[in-house]
Structure 1
Amino acid sequence: MKYSGWPEPGDLVVGEVDEIEDFGVFVDLKEYQDKQGLVHVSEVASGWIKNVRDHVNAGQTVVAKVLDVDPESQQIDLSLKDVNDHQRSDKIQEWKSEQKADNWMEIAFGEDIGPDRYAEIANELIAEHGSLYKGFEQAAIHGDEALDKLGLSEDDIDAIVETARKNVSVPYVTVTGYVDLECPGGNGVDDVKEALQAAEGNGDIPEDVELDVTYVGAPEYRIRVKAPNYKTAEQQLEASADRAVSAIKSCGGSGNFHRDRHTDEE
């Protein structure tokens, strides 16, 4: 997605070197529609510059800092020397991430999605999560919950979540569920303890998965799973709940798994 507006002074922008002149460099801004900025020769690099072409090449992708913007004269003044290596690396990564998210929008809503509809959905994600990429990332981690405050239809939310979970790679995800465990017999307390041990896997949990079971309020227990991806986390959560329910039922008790908690947390 390219922005139709103007960058703000102080923003970092990604551009491609278009023309190189003795007085400076013209840069096409990749994130903005039909916008070009000028890097004056004094802003190309620190120190005295004998030849601008010793510092930049035509077609080169650069990160620049916006110094001034004048929409009336269609002028954007940029600086290359005011961007350090860390800022340059972070901005390039951010730009590449947004390109991925742009592709995910087409996957979710079709390649022929119109600009107005694209903007409607993208603006909701950006307003809530700060960027298009982060919106998809949060959808991959938290599902519908990450998007329930957005002014989008259920179909739109489902499309985003489905696409995110198939395409977004995140460092880890955390999912939570609850089990109700009851056993009225004389050994009820011990039976519940055994069911909870079963839920924890009795030490048989993959190394890249963290699973813990905590007491919420009788008869409810929370199962929280942290895993490298959503699919694994969901599988481990459901398996944990199944083990607990099966164990308590084998002792003559009752159990059930649910997503939302029944009692108020303190």
Structure 2
Amino acid sequence: MVLPRKQLPDVGELVIGTVREIHDFGAYLGLDEYGGLRAFLPWSEVSSRWFRDIREVIREGQKVVVKTIRVDRVKRTVDVSLKRVSDVEKQRKILWWKRFSKACKIVEIVAEKLGKSIEEAYREVVWPLMDKYYDVMYALEEAIVSGSQVLRDAGVPEYW
């Protein structure tokens, strides 16, 4: 389980989502990076090519990389686009997400062994490493190769 750092994504941000419901007018996604926050994918933002049925392009349960096009912070609603994401952006985001998920799982296992909560693990380890290195898995790999100084430089407490 990945804990969200922010409540809502920013406009233009790439996010990973899981298709939950498909309708004739669009689809609803659960944003994996934001605790399953519901986002709407309008029919016009599904694909730049012509399609007869939206199910030709996406299916329920499918993981997709989408770009946020509108965020209403008052109503907590998010609209996203699938067609505005390039193949290169999609590949980079999927690679980052896989590495981030693995790193979070490693930190959660260590937190359990130390008797720390998942929230403490994210606050004390994951977010500081993300601020300093962006790629948490890279920071953990670097700590294995170069030593624990990498973690201390990012502000991770000594007992981790």
- TM-score category by the smaller chain? 0.7 to 0.9
Amino acid in structure 1 at the alignment position of 2:31: L
Instruction: Determine the structure 2 residue equivalent to 1:129.
Output: 133
* Fraction of identical pairs, as percent: 31
- How far apart, in 1, do the equivalents of 2:152 and 2:117 lie? 24
Structure (1 or 2) with the larger CA radius of gyration: 1
- The one of 69, 72, 78 equivalent to 1:67 is 69
CA distance in 1, matches of 2:73, 2:26: 20
Give the structure-1-normalised TM-score: 0.55
| C-alpha distance in 1 between matches for 2:47 and 2:157 | 49
Note the 1:111-190 alignment, pairs <5 A.
113-121=116-124, 122-156=126-160
Q: Distance in 1 between matches of 2:44 and 2:51?
A: 8
1:70-99 alpha-carbon deviations (Å, 9 max, x no partner): 121121110101112222122111111111
Match in the other structure for 2:99: 97
Q: Deviations over 1:43-82 (max 9, x none)?
A: 0001443211111101011110111111211211101011
Q: Offset of 1:133 from its aligned partner?
A: 1.8
Contact (CA 8 Å) 2:108, 2:118: kept in 1 or not? no
Query: 1:107 maps to what in 2?
Result: 109
Q: Which amino acid aligns with 1:57?
A: R
Look up the match of 2:88. Answer: 86
TM-aligned CA deviation for residue 8 of structure 1:
1.1
Aligned counterparts of 1:115 and 1:25: Cα–Cα separation in 2: 32
Hey, what's the Cα distance between the residues in 1 that align with 2:12 and 2:144? 32
Cα deviation, 1:227-260, whole Å, max 9, x if unaligned, reads xxxxxxxxxxxxxxxxxxxxxxxxxxxxxxxxxx
* Contiguous gaps of at least 5 residues in structure 2: none
1-side partners of 2:42 and 2:69: how far apart? 11
Consecutive unaligned residues in structure 1, runs of 5 or more? 157-266
Amino acid paired to 1:116: E
User: Which gives a bigger RCO, structure 1 or 2 (Cα 8 Å, sep 6+)?
Assistant: 2
- Count of residue pairs brought into register by the alignment: 156
Q: TM-score, normalised by structure 2?
A: 0.88
Question: What is residue 13 of structure 2 aligned with on the other side?
Answer: 11
**Which amino acid in the other structure matches residue 132 of structure 1?**
V
Secondary structure in 2 aligned to 1:37? strand
